[in-house]
Amino acid sequence: MVEPIIDALAALHGYAGSIAWLVLGVFLAGTLLERYDEELGARVYAAGWVVLSGYWLAYVHYFVFAQKSITESAGVIIGIPLSLYVAYLIVDGRHRLLVVSRAVTFAWVFFLPLSALAFVRRPLIELTTAHTDFVLSLLGNNYQLGDWYPALPAGLELPGGSTLGTESTLPDKNFPYRNTFLYAPDGHAVTYTIRMACTGIGSMSIFVGLIGAVRGTLRKKATALAASIGVIYVLNIVRNVFIAYTMGNQRLHIFPDVILSLFSATDPYLVSYFIGDRIIAQFGSVIALLAITWLVVRWVPDVLRVVEEGMYLLTRREYDLKGALGVETTE
């Protein structure tokens, strides 16, 4: 009974790219219409939130069953009803949520072309890989960096001198880029591939949306944007290095039975990856986003308007963060 649902979710994920462009189109239309007719713009935004709920639904299988990501799984599952709730509130007259809708527009305009267009995606992934490689090289040279695709070939010489007996698939390798780090703890091939999700673009898009959606002087908004993107990129390199190093050297191989059971996995060499990426790095990213938001508010206080509306959606309570923090907004 459950398997047909899982299969349907897997099939729906194949349309995620098309749904993403539809989301961008509808929200962009809402942003343009809002300038001339707020009521019409609000209704288009509401439609956009309904489409966005479909986008989150298309990613349920990927994050829950394929990636087994705790925070991202929770995000898409919560995002489905939350997006529909926003649509309802906007239609019901809560136009304060239009600022949140504008934030989605700016975030999507930034994120989607960078992640979908190959001539932008490849240099971004390879730049992130190069910086990760530079820092990793300072910690040791017991790894290789290669462009293997779509699998590690049989007979490949592994770090340490052993040879790969049979072809080994690379599940995260979607393009023939030089972006895969290969370690061989105990002669066992372990890989970490830099993907778009490893570049920090997703987190950057959040702040592009927050800053772009509200009023503020161009100088302060540019400063806040540069600071947030710079901090995110540096922290993201640290994250990549941490995951690759701890996984490649099996530094976090603790409570293997518990971790493998939690993530429904069988490969003991993935324990360090699950702890390093799925637990430590992902929850650390949430804390980092909160800290960066506090930093951005110093330059663009109106960002708190978006945060207040987000908190209202989760708690159904009104908040005055501007007053609580003693800051003044421009609108």
CB 234 within 8 A of CB 200: no
Listed in sequence order, the residues at least 6 apart from 62 whose beta carbon sits closer than 8 Å to its beta carbon are 13, 16
Among candidate residues 102, 121, 198, 305, the one labeled active-site is 198
Cα 173 to chain center, whole Å?
17
CB 194 within 8 A of CB 134: no
Total residues found in the chain within this entry: 331
Known catalytic residue: 251? no
> 331: closest CA among 312, 306, 313, 296?
306
Tell me the Ramachandran region of residue 200: left when phi exceeds 0, alpha when psi lies from -120 to 50, beta otherwise.
left
**Does a cis peptide bond (omega within 30 degrees of 0) precede residue 150?**
yes
Among candidate residues 35, 121, 178, 239, the one labeled active-site is 239
* Cα 244 to Cα 152: distance, rounded to the nearest angstrom: 17
Known catalytic residue: 198? yes
> 323: closest CA among 299, 296, 305?
305
Catalytic site positions: 198, 239
